[in-house]
Structure 1
């Protein structure tokens, strides 16, 4: 601390850096809270910035860092280089080659809507193994290098005039169809559990009429807007109390948003003929957390899931299990099982743990997790039933971007019944009667949800 620091990029030498105020390191984020990981505030962290000038011509130009103290002078090369794209640079267009490729808001950060294969994007930069691309002029996305193919110079930029939006009612779904001249990046957001929006980046609206085509029994309202000059958006409000799952894909250059119609629910037998996928967490070599006497979470998850299967089938549901034995099942294989069965609901059954150094006597209890707004009412209903019927501490409801909460075709909820590392809860979790009671509580929460949102 108290030293002088600077950095250089090519011929731009000794750009000054400032020392930041000492702060505790907060690398560990658990259940939405950041926890200090350093015993004392960390000193000697420096930060600097440089605005690229029009005259700068950097191509794979190295960055060097210099630290000067009373006793020493240290210069190190940064693990990065800088390349500047000139103003007259021919636009770089790429095509997505992996279906539903992961898109992030910054390298390695939060996820955005995955992109279908064939989507065209306008590339504007690269850091490491991720390309940056435009999402209109208001946003940017980041996608892995191996998930796209750079097209030959002169390929048309990713944009399209949008002249129509068509609605089609088929079987148990309503299709929202948007014809384009090429496949463009999209973003789908559930504004609430009963409203959904679609944004098409590079889309320019020429829509003046949207016929409901006898779909008004399901769709209360659909609105088309152009919130920005190169972002086309539609907002759909269904007549139902809530959304029941969606899918999206391209057919040729027509983008299709597929919304599931509300299921027919018998108030006296709400689970009858409903397809429910149960996912017993972990399995095989994936133990999950391990309790004080050595019983792994995977074993308890499977036991509770089997009791839940019996309870649901007894009440008329068609139940799909992602595993019924102690075996390895990949995360995305679990999702595929649920999707292939056209499941209405996906329940992932788990039991919780804490990182080392945390107090399981203070942090414990039942909790539930969701990602899409359509799953929040079911999440609340299951959590309420767990707390009322199991009488464990209410650890809470969490929005969480997990592999088993992100599925959108079914309503997906992840349940953490108790804490494996809390001795009292672990004792209960290893007891067969409590396992049956836990399954019953989840079933009751599911049943109450179906009755409420009929």
Structure 2
């Protein structure tokens, strides 16, 4: 350990890299204790109906990082294991199907092993956790979707932004953002359920839910999507006439098609609101990788015409209808995409 802040330790993962890790995941050893040295020789790949797994058998837990790259027509994840040594470079090419195409590992540098996981397409979600000393990369397979009823059987978490003591932004009429997000989210949930989706809301009343508990609900429910609904605002001192319109934010590359589908629906159904675009940004509610996660800014509280729409029941209904339609269109488009071959 080289430092600490709040609930995290800063650890020296390699000669040139430090990592932040939750204190609950680390055990402090006496000063002078030699660094761990793990010899790594085995990977298993397993495919199931809903998830594929890459299992790395290690003699002890070591720090790791996960980095995703995405290029047109291909996708991969790179796991770096620190204080780890591989006997030989190796490839697992006879994949049993599902999301994983092949896996290869190489000794990248002294004490750093890179495990390159090539995927059959962009994952619908992934996470990486330890089971004992086995590091498990779990990948969500693309679901089987009925194009005639694309929302039937899908699980979606809708997050009405802010709540309770967290008021969010406010427009010229000083109505807090939290009070505008909730009715839109409740109506979106209603519309999705009418089409056969299973929907969970992070809140259904004016209560404050910790920000990191919101994606945890989506993970617990094994949801396909996490959609957080907000309203935008400009900071004090910025001309409010400079920005208006709907915008959608994503961080993980596989969530971009969802963001684009939602924005297209919002702009198509509400052309009077304006188009603020699709944005790549590292936001807490767009960052989760366990499912496709996006954050919608329905309109600007600091724009007079946008605010009037958000303040009206009819305007909020139009917003909810557009979001529900965008989700339906996203699933219908996903149904037309080829799925990786099923497990043997």
Contact 1:369 1:398 in 2 (8 A): yes
* Structure 1 residue 264, shift from structure 2 partner: 0.7
8 Å CA contact retained: 2:51, 2:98 = no
Instruction: Tell whether the 8 Å contact from 2:94 to 2:102 is kept in structure 1 after alignment.
Output: no
In the alignment, what sits opposite 1:26? none
Measure the CA separation in 1 of the matches of 2:93 and 2:106. Answer: 17
Q: Give the structure 2 partner of residue 418 of structure 1.
A: 299
- Asked if 1:179 is matched to 2:57, the reply is yes
TM superposition shift of 1:336 = 2.1
Match of 2:125 in 1: 245
Higher Rg = 1
- Flag the structure with higher strand content: 1
Q: Distance in 1 between matches of 2:28 and 2:191?
A: 52
Taking the aligned partners of 1:313 and 1:161, their CA distance within structure 2 comes to: 50
Q: State the Cα deviation string for residues 232-263 of structure 1 (Å, max 9, x = none).
A: 122223224x2111122111111111111111
Equivalent-residue separation in structure 1 for 2:267 and 2:209 (angstroms) = 30
Distance 1:177 1:356 in 2: 50
Alignment correspondent of 1:17 = none
Report the Cα distance in structure 2 between the residues aligned to 1:186 and 1:163, rounded to whole angstroms: 16
Deviation, 1:210, is: 4.9
Deviations 1:368-426 (A, max 9, x none): 11121221111122122222221122212222222211222111100001011211100
My pick for the range that moved more, 393-402 or 428-437, is 393-402
Match of 1:382 among 262, 267, 271: 262
Structure-2 residue corresponding to 1:206: 87
Check if 1:255 corresponds to 2:135.
yes
Q: Partner residue of 2:316?
A: 435
Aligned-partner Cα distance in 1 for 2:27–2:103: 35
One of 292, 296, 310 as aligned partner of 2:172: 292
Output the TM-score relative to the length of structure 1.
0.68
List per-residue Cα deviations over 1:55-75 (Å, max 9, x = no partner): xxxxxxxxxxxxxxxxxxxxx
| Aligned-partner SS, 1:224 | strand
Where do residues 190-229 of structure 1 align in structure 2 (5 Å cutoff)?
A: 190-192=68-70, 194-207=75-88, 209-211=90-92, 215-229=96-110
Is 2:157 the partner of 1:277? yes
Matched residue of 2:106: which SS? strand
CA separation of 1:145/1:327 partners in 2, compared to 1, >3 Å: closer, same or farther? closer
Whole-angstrom distance in 1 between the partners of 2:22 and 2:293: 26
The match for 2:220 is: 340
Higher relative contact order (CA 8 A, sep 6+): 2
* TM-score, scaled to structure 2: 0.88
Structure 1: stretches of 5+ with no match in the other structure: 1-122
> Which structure 2 residue ranges, 5 or more long, are not aligned?
336-344
1:453 aligned to 2:334? yes
1:345/1:412 contact within 8 Å kept = yes
Report the Cα offset of residue 128 of structure 1.
7.4
Whole-angstrom distance in 2 between the partners of 1:421 and 1:208 = 57
Residue among 37, 42, 50 paired with 1:164: 42
Q: Distance in 2 between matches of 1:374 and 1:334?
A: 20
Cα displacement string for residues 252-310 of structure 1 (whole angstroms, at most 9, x for unaligned residues)? 11111111111111111111100000000111121111222232111110111011111
Q: Which residue of 2 aligns with 1:265?
A: 145
Quote how far apart the aligned CAs of 1:149 are: 4.4
Q: Check whether the contact 1:167–1:213 (CA below 8 A) recurs between aligned residues.
A: no
3-state SS of paired residue (1:250): strand
Match of 2:282 among 401, 423, 428: 401
Kindly indicate whether the alpha-carbon contact (under 8 Å) linking 1:181 and 1:253 is maintained by their aligned counterparts in 2: yes
How far is the alpha carbon of 1:349 from its aligned partner? 0.3
Structure 2: how far apart are the matches of 1:231 and 1:324? 46
In structure 1, C-alpha distance between the alignment counterparts of 2:290 and 2:198, rounded to whole Å: 17
What is the distance in 1 between the residues matched to 2:58 and 2:148? Answer: 46
What is the RMSD of the two structures over their aligned residues, measured on CA atoms?
A: 2.3
The equivalences for 1:114-193 within 5 A come to 123=1, 125-126=2-3, 132-142=10-20, 148-153=26-31, 155-192=33-70
2:89 & 2:19 partners in 1: Cα distance? 30
Count of residue correspondences: 330
SS of the aligned residue for 2:229 comes to strand
Q: Is the 8 A contact 2:89 2:107 kept in 1?
A: no
Query: Is 1:303 the equivalent of 2:189?
Result: no
Aligned partner of 1:82 in structure 2 is none
CA displacement at 1:143 relative to structure 2:
5.2
Equivalent residue for 1:80?
none
CA distance 1:230–1:453, shift in 2 (3 Å): farther
Select the structure that is richer in helix.
2
